[in-house]
Structure formats: C-alpha cells, structure tokens
C-alpha cells in the first residue's frame, strides 16, 4: 500500500482501511510512503505501522495506490517497487489521473476515493471493522471538505452513515483532525492570515507562506490554509502559495464558476474543477505572476 508525498486523510484513510481489510483476508501488507503520517492523523488505526521510505526496500507482486493521480508523487517509489510482473492497482477519483497502473479504476463521479474503497471492500465481501470504518470515514470526511464540497452526493452520506453504524464516532474524527492545535500554531495562523490579498472587487484572493514561515515548527498543516481566502464572500477563486526549498507549491480552490483544474493542468498540475494544485519550480515571485495571471484570465473569460 504505497502513499504519495505529504500524506493526507484522503490517502492514509483509504490505504490503511484497504490494507487492514486485505490483511484480515490473509494478505501480507506493507504500508509505506515518502513522508511520515502527520500528527493530526496519527489516531488512524494502523498508522503506527506506516513506514517512511526514501528508497524502496524491495519489489512487490501487488502495489496499491489510492487518491494519487500522478505516480511522480511517490518520489520514485512506485518505479522502484514494481517489476514487469507486478500488478499495480490505481484507485482514484481525479479526472486527470495519469493511469499508470496495470489496473486503473478511475471514477470522477465519486466524491471521495474513500467511497470507492468502501465499495471495493464490500464487493470483496470483507467485514468492515471499527478500525477500517474509522479510516474510510476519515478519508471521505477530508476528501469532501467535511461534506462541504459540491461533489458530495447522497451516496456519500449513505456510505458515511454505514461507517458510523460500523463504529465511527464522527465528533471524535472531526475534533482530532481539526481541533488539536497548539497555541503557537494558532498564533502562527493569525500571522499568516494577515497576509491575505485580493484583487479589486474581491473575486480573486490569495495567501503566501514564505520559506521562513513554512519551516516554522509552529506552522499548522498548511494545506487547509487555502480555505481561508476561499471563505471570503466575494471570492470566486482562492490561491495558496507555499514556498518550498526547490520551488513553490500552489493550491487552487474555486466556488463553481472557474475550473481551476484546467488552470493547474496548463501549468503542469491537476485536480478537480473546484480544487486543484501544482508545484512550480523557480521563485515565489514567478509563481505568483504566472498563476495569478492565469486565474485573472480565466475569471475574465466569457461564460
């Protein structure tokens, strides 16, 4: 069960949930990825077994990747663990998935990859234990933005309800994922949010996390920062720029009028119409100029 860089609730919940189910069915399961489990997700059953690999330790007969549209996000681990005989199962709901598996199950109509893995476990007639349910519920919860994103469907709620019936405490999941901040993290959040900028009229809002701030041990999980400029009443598109040692990570969010996946794809990234991203090499100034220019062009285009 192979994860992508900076694992989130989407990928960890699906890999851990499916991994525990397969192990109960008699499979020998290894859980690994290029980065560690974040502290906010360490409550997930099985996360203590997650291995951090900078290089692959061996090859495998079967390799499963979930919610990973681009195999480059494994930082070379997929290429190092597969052989010509390996079966690679690629399970995802991103429409721009690069279909790098020997089996590619891509369903853009699914609100969350967790829904798909839940269906898979049921189709295999495997029991959904409380530990598996917690993982899958967390995957669905985070992948749908706590059921706030526009792709959330009745099927999403039905799957979530069944997982609650299987033993999930939704309040515990939400509290652990979103309400376990340290005081220093809140102060850092306040500092970062002072830097929110908007275009005249407010249809475009953005936020920058520079390299010094990004390296602070007090910085909370930064991926959710983009939701703050997105929450501005007039905002149609929000952008988060996070400076990395070798480039800039860009997260884009929209409210339905602009397809940010198209913008990200033009610039080497991808995602969903309302949630996309990319990593751009070069300076922060260059990334801001190029990405904000592309967003302004999209906002100005006739509809």
CATH code of residue 134: 3.90.1640.10
d(CA 184, CA 53): 30
pLDDT of residue 20: 98
Question: DSSP string spanning 82-109?
Answer: --TT-EEEEEE--TT----SSEEEE-TT
**Which residues does 48 contact at the CB level (< 8 Å), separation at least 6?**
42
Domain shared by 82 and 221, yes or no: no
d(CA 120, CA 244): 37
pLDDT of residue 289: 96
Where does a domain end: 163, 178, 193?
Answer: 178
Per-residue b/e over 228-267, b at no fewer than 16 CB within 10 Å? bbbeeeebbbbbbbbbeeebbbbbbbbeeebbbbbbbbeb
Q: Is residue 3 part of a domain?
A: no
Domain shared by 167 and 190, yes or no: no
d(CA 151, CA 149): 6
d(CA 52, CA 33): 5
pLDDT of residue 40: 87
pLDDT of residue 182: 79
Tokens 């349910």 belong to which residue? 133
Where does a domain end: 133, 159, 178?
Answer: 178
Domain shared by 173 and 201, yes or no: no
Domain shared by 201 and 221, yes or no: yes
pLDDT of residue 218: 65
Q: Is residue 4 part of a domain?
A: no
Domain shared by 199 and 148, yes or no: no
pLDDT of residue 191: 87
Within the chain, residue ranges assigned H as helices are 9-24, 77-81, 113-123, 130-143, 154-165, 170-178, 183-193, 211-214, 227-230, 260-266, 284-300
Domain shared by 120 and 229, yes or no: no
d(CA 107, CA 97): 10
pLDDT of residue 185: 80
Q: Is residue 252 a contact partner of residue 239, using CB atoms and an 8 Å limit?
A: yes
Where does a domain end: 178, 200, 216?
Answer: 178
**Which residues does 45 contact at the CB level (< 8 Å), separation at least 6?**
16, 20, 130, 131, 132, 134, 135
Domain that holds residue 89: 9-178
Question: Which positions of the chain have pLDDT values less than 70?
Answer: 217-223
Question: Is the sign of the CA dihedral 267, 82, 79, 56 positive or negative?
Answer: positive
CA 257 and chain centroid, separation: 22
Q: Is residue 205 a contact partner of residue 225, using CB atoms and an 8 Å limit?
A: no
Tokens 């340290």 belong to which residue? 182
**What is the SS3 assignment for 216?**
coil
Strand partners of residue 62: 87
Q: Is residue 136 a contact partner of residue 119, using CB atoms and an 8 Å limit?
A: no
């Amino acid at each position: 069960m192979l994860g992508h860089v900076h694992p989130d609730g989407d990928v960890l919940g699906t890999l851990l949930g499916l991994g525990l189910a397969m192990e109960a069915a008699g499979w020998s399961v290894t859980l690994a990825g290029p980065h560690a489990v974040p502290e906010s997700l360490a409550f997930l059953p099985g996360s203590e077994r997650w291995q951090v690999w900078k290089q692959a330790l061996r090859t495998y007969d079967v390799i499963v990747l979930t919610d990973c549209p681009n195999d480059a996000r494994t930082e070379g681990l997929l290429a190092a663990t597969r052989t010509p005989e390996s079966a690679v199962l690629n399970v995802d709901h991103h429409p721009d998935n690069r279909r790098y598996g020997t089996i590619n199950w891509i369903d853009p109509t699914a609100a969350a990859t967790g829904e798909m893995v839940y269906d898979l476990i049921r189709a295999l007639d495997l029991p959904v234990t409380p530990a598996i349910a917690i993982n899958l519920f967390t995957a669905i919860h985070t992948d749908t933005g706590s059921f706030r994103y526009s792709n959330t469907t009745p099927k999403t709620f039905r799957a979530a309800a069944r997982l609650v019936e299987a033993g999930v405490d939704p309040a515990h999941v939400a509290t652990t994922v979103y309400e376990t901040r340290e005081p220093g993290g809140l102060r850092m959040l306040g500092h970062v949010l002072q830097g929110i900028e908007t275009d005249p009229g407010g249809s475009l809002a953005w936020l920058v996390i520079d390299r010094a701030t990004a390296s602070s041990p007090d910085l909370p999980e930064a991926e959710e920062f983009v939701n703050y400029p997105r929450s501005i009443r007039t905002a149609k598109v929000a952008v988060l720029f996070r400076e990395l040692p070798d480039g800039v990570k860009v997260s884009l969010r929209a409210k339905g009028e602009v397809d940010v996946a198209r913008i990200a794809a033009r610039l080497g990234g991808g995602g969903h119409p309302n949630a996309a991203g990319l990593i751009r090499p070069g300076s922060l100034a260059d990334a801001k100029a190029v990405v904000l220019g592309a967003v302004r062009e999209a906002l100005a285009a006739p509809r």
